[in-house]
């Protein structure tokens, strides 16, 4: 890991078009500004990790309980979601 000392207003350039700037230093943390190309997603690490964990969990869903879940949901929810090809000529509208 590259470790550098930066003062307020100073920045670091990463590759082509990514800049990380120290905006201010406070008692509770450092405010950082990130400038990146539109196609580079920028996320807080803990937010990203939370979603990674949730997605990995969701990818291991137990297949044998699914029909029972679907059936109990059908009794509870008022409408069903349709996949786009089932609405051939109109923009997709969900009930």
Name the site residues for another protein (rule: CB under 8 A).
Answer: 38, 41, 43, 47-48, 50-63, 65-70, 72-74, 76-87, 91-94
Least distance CB 88 / another protein (angstroms): 9
- Helices (H), ranges, the chain: 45-58, 66-74
Shortest Å distance, C-beta 21 to another protein: 19
The tally of CA atoms less than 13 A away on the side-chain side of residue 62 is 4
Question: Quick one: which of 71, 70, 50, 74 has its CA closest to 61?
Answer: 70
Minimum CB distance to another protein smaller for 5 or for 65: 65
């Amino acid at each position: 890991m590259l470790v550098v000392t930066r003062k307020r207003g100073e920045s670091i350039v990463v590759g082509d078009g990514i800049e990380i700037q120290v905006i201010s230093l406070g008692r509770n943390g450092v405010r950082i500004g990130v400038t990146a190309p539109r196609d580079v997603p920028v996320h807080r690490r803990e937010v990203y990790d939370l979603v990674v964990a949730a997605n990995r969990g969701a990818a291991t869903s137990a297949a044998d309980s699914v029909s029972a879940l679907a059936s109990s949901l059908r009794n509870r929810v008022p409408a069903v979601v349709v996949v786009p090809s089932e609405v051939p000529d109109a923009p997709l509208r969900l009930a």
